[in-house]
Structure 1
Amino acid sequence: MLSVEALYKAHADAVLAKLRRLGIEGPALEDLLQDVFVIALRRQAKIPKDNDSARRWLFDAARKLAANFHRLYRHKYEALDPDAIDAALAEPEDPEEHIALCNLVRTALRELSSKDVELLRRHAIDGESLPELATWLRITKSGAHVRLERAKERLRVQVARLEQGVELRGDRKPEVIEAPTSR
């Protein structure tokens, strides 16, 4: 039986290349390479004895780890960007424009159904995941995804109509927030 250290010396470059071919890049590349060999250490008794079979076993572990990596939502949509965090926490460059946008969105939300507003609030503000939304709606996760996307699209349409000055329904006036006065 080959030791994990010997496997690492013999196959680390090949496993790294395999992970790259599987679409892993950046800091995750080294992390997943280490994960492959951590798994090899934990399952040392299950690794085939001959070198070629052990190599295939390592490639299989790398393939499974890469598939799991790509399945995770955060790797597709969330990037660790300190500048983005700073920008999100910073005051808006134009407070009046920001207030106008808030008023526009608030007015558009009033034009949506209460179910759409609740769905958008739960997802965007409360941070509920699709499985949590699906449970609340008593539907499947994919059904919740469809409903969420449709609610987002209805909100986008309402905002676009308001931006163009089109009267939506009734004679509701937008709720106005006053800009903070400087002291």
Structure 2
Amino acid sequence: MFYRCHVAAVERFVARRIQDPHAVEDITSEVFLAAVRSCRRFDPSGPAPVAWLFGISFRLTADYQRKSARRWRAQSRQKGQRELADDAIERLEQRIDAERAAFALRDELAKIPAQTRSLLELTALDGLSITDAAAALGIAPGAARVRLHRAKTRLRNELADSPLRAVATELDDASRKELHGE
């Protein structure tokens, strides 16, 4: 029951950080295995269970990304450049055009420190409260509020004059709702 209640949220969390769907599945299962192994340390009076799982997910995805980067560097040294077929070039051009806005947003998000970016994702995308998100990342709730406010302000300012104005508007709306307790 615990697995069924939380697997979709954990999978979404991991999928935002890892592109390979097979790796997403593997890491998601590793999260629940790690949760079972460390269940004695879970404090039911602490953060929500999903926040605890996101904390485990955060650490496992970071480990995977470090290992992938090492593997990629090693493969890059071993492989030469290969030629692309015409249809592959066309597919790449279509993908680049389709994801231009996503890349711009990703670039702006990349300028935010990883822990603060995760805080933003946990609250905006996963629906955790700031307190639960802070607990998942091991930071104080007050510090989380300050970091979240600064990150939203920075993104709002950076995106205001870009093709991503709609995202900046959504950040404004979200900030207003937080201030008014909606």
Assess same fold via TM > 0.5: no
TM-score normalised by the shorter chain: which range applies? 0.3 to 0.5
- TM-score calculated relative to the size of structure 2: 0.36
Higher helix share: 2
**Greater gyration radius:** 1
